[in-house]
Each structure stands twice: as structure tokens, then as C-alpha cells.
């Protein structure tokens, strides 16, 4: 019998801040908490959802901590010199064929299992370049590799075109960092939203009482000094992003969408500056991490229950 209740899991993007969601989802998995029939994620959130559905505890956290923090993934010197700074293909090859690849088969099998008489669905948010509109693609289809790359392909940092279905796609965070509205459009009646940012202003139709009675919002607490910092001149990184947006607009003829791209640029730059100010011991955007040739605890133990660099991870997740 088909249950009218549709429970949705929505996971925010946010690059390395996805470590927070990865930790939450790993705990969900350990507690066998998975009452969902709809899963929606953007950027790192999509990868977190993929690992959660495939039952691979620790995979997303390992990817975020050991690959996205490596200079090979993001090279600031290349960015300054107008070269492609983000090597998304290098990073995602580990998700596709590394020592602990994403288990696509297991993910598909999980989605085929009915929940409350309803088939499960897992979707990644991607942005249509010409329309600058959010679209949602199944994560565990044959083109899953392109889907996960596209939802993480930050404009002006990743230059290569990712094309499928006759269109070019970029980071879903340009249009919907927290795809809550899409969950409602798809009939969700119960929501679990994992985010590092407040979402109340973005979803005025959800009041606090509803959240208390019907929803669960897993939210990282705002940093105490977040609203106390004085305005600073734009950094070299921020100026570089602004220049890159101009090139992006010219490349795809997006003159009518400049304001939306500038809004994305502002949010992205502010996020980088927050990380720099709150984690001064870490080099941003390239965090100081050990060489990938150094065996990690994960690889030594032969399982994926945890990752190395516990102290740095604790700092990133201290509000969890």
C-alpha cells in the first residue's frame, strides 16, 4: 500500500564544508537511520548522499579530507596565472576507480528497494549554463560520473565543459545550494536538511513550530565572530573570481545573468574568507595536508570507518 508520506533528505553543497554533512550521514548510517524515499544534494552534498546510499561510511569524508585539500585538486598559483586551478577529473578518478570507489551497483540496489510502497530516488542538482536554472539528475545512472563532476564544477575555477543531454552544466550551487524547494515540488511532506547555513529566510513557508513538530534540521552553529568582523578590501582570490566571471559570461554569452553570477561570486568569496579567518592555521584555499603517498589510517586498516588527520577534522567539525 502506498503511503502518502514522502520523507526527503536534503544535503547542502559547500566544498570542504561538506565534511560536516559527511560526519552527520556517517552517524546516520551507524544508527541505521534512513527513513527516506527522496534524496537531494548539491555539489559535495550529492557525493555525500551517494556514499550514504551505497552504505560506504567514511568514503565522502575521505574524499573531502584527503583529495579536495590536496594542492593537485586546487592550485592557487595556476588560478593567479589564469590557468585552470581545479583538477576535478583527477579527484573524481578516485571516486570512480580508486582504492575505495563508489559502489554504484549497491547504490542502485538500495534505490530499487521500496520504502513505504514508494520507489526511492536520489538526485544531484546541476546548473544549466545557458538558462542558469537548476535541474536534477539521478545520481546512480550510467552517466553518474558526469553528474557528480557537473554538480561540483565551480564556474571560473573549472574550465572544461561538462556536456550531456545536449547542454553544458556547472555547479548546482550557482542556482540551488540547498535544494529544499525542489524537495517540496516533488511532494516531500517530511524533511531532514543538513546544512551549515541558516535556511529559515530561504523557506518562509516553513515556520519554527513546523520544524519542531514535523522536520529535523541538522545545522552547524554559526561561528561566534561571523557577524563581528569588519569589512576588508577584496582579496586577490576574490578579485580573481570576479575576473573569471567576466570570462565565463563572455564564453557562454550570459550577459542577462551577470547579477546572478555576481551573487554566486559574492557568496563563494565570503565563504573562502570565513574559512581563512576562522581557521588561521590552515592554508586556504589549499589546505596543508600530507602527501597522498603517505598511507592513511583508512588504507592501513583496510576499512572506511574513519580517516586520518583527526585534529584538523575535529576543527572543521567542532560545531557538529
pLDDT of amino acid 299: 33
pLDDT of amino acid 65: 84
Cα 139-67-17 angle, rounded to 5 deg: 70
270: how many CB neighbours lie within 10 A of its CB?
12
Which pTM was predicted? 0.66
- Which neighbouring-strand residues pair with 247? none
End-to-end CA distance of the chain: 38
* Distances from the Cα of 190 to the Cα of 121, 264, 310, angstroms: 15, 29, 34
For residue 162, which of 177, 136, 143, 178 has the smallest C-alpha distance? 143
Can you read off the three cell numbers belonging to residue 235? 582579496
pLDDT along the chain (320 residues), means of 10: 79 85 93 94 94 93 83 74 76 83 93 83 94 94 94 84 93 90 93 80 44 48 50 52 52 54 58 47 35 34 36 47
pLDDT of amino acid 251: 54
Q: How many CA atoms lie within 13 A of 169 on its CB side?
A: 26
pLDDT of amino acid 264: 60
pLDDT of amino acid 51: 95
Domain segments of the chain as ranges: 7-231+286-316
Helix-strand-coil percent breakdown of the chain, rounded to 5?
45, 15, 40
List, by residue number, the catalytic residues. 43, 171
pLDDT of amino acid 209: 44
pLDDT of amino acid 15: 77
Amino acid at each position: 500500500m502506498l503511503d502518502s508520506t514522502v520523507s526527503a533528505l536534503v544535503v547542502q553543497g559547500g566544498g570542504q564544508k561538506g565534511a560536516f554533512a559527511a560526519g552527520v550521514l556517517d552517524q546516520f548510517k551507524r544508527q541505521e537511520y534512513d527513513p527516506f524515499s527522496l534524496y537531494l544534494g548539491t555539489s559535495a552534498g550529492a557525493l555525500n548522499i551517494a556514499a550514504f546510499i551505497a552504505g560506504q561510511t567514511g568514503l565522502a569524508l575521505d574524499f573531502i579530507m584527503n583529495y579536495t585539500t590536496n594542492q593537485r585538486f586546487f592550485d592557487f598559483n595556476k588560478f593567479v596565472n589564469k590557468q585552470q586551478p581545479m583538477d576535478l577529473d583527477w579527484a573524481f578518478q578516485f571516486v570512480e576507480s580508486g582504492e575505495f570507489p563508489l559502489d554504484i551497483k549497491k547504490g542502485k540496489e538500495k534505490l530499487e528497494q521500496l520504502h513505504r510502497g514508494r520507489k526511492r530516488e536520489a538526485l544531484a542538482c546541476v546548473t544549466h549554463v545557458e538558462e542558469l536554472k537548476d535541474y536534477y539528475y539521478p545520481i546512480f545512472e550510467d552517466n553518474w560520473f558526469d553528474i557528480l563532476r557537473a554538480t561540483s564544477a565551480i564556474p571560473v575555477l573549472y574550465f572544461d565543459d561538462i556536456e550531456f543531454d545536449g547542454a553544458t552544466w556547472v555547479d548546482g550551487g550557482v542556482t540551488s545550494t540547498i535544494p529544499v524547494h525542489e524537495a517540496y515540488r516533488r511532494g516531500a511532506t517530511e524533511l531532514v536538511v543538513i546544512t551549515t547555513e541558516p535556511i529559515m529566510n530561504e523557506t518562509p513557508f516553513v515556520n519554527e513550530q513546523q520544524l519542531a513538530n514535523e522536520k529535523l534540521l541538522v545545522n552547524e552553529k554559526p561561528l561566534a565572530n561571523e557577524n563581528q568582523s569588519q569589512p576588508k578590501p577584496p582579496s586577490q582570490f576574490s578579485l580573481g573570481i570576479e575576473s573569471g566571471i567576466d570570462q565565463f559570461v563572455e564564453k557562454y554569452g550570459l550577459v542577462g545573468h551577470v547579477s546572478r553570477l555576481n551573487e554566486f561570486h559574492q557568496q563563494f568569496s565570503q565563504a573562502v574568507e570565513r574559512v581563512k579567518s576562522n581557521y588561521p592555521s590552515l592554508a586556504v584555499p589549499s589546505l596543508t595536508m600530507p602527501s597522498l603517498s603517505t598511507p592513511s589510517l583508512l588504507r592501513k586498516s583496510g576499512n572506511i570507518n574513519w580517516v586520518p588527520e583527526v585534529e584538523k577534522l575535529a576543527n572543521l567539525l567542532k560545531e557538529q
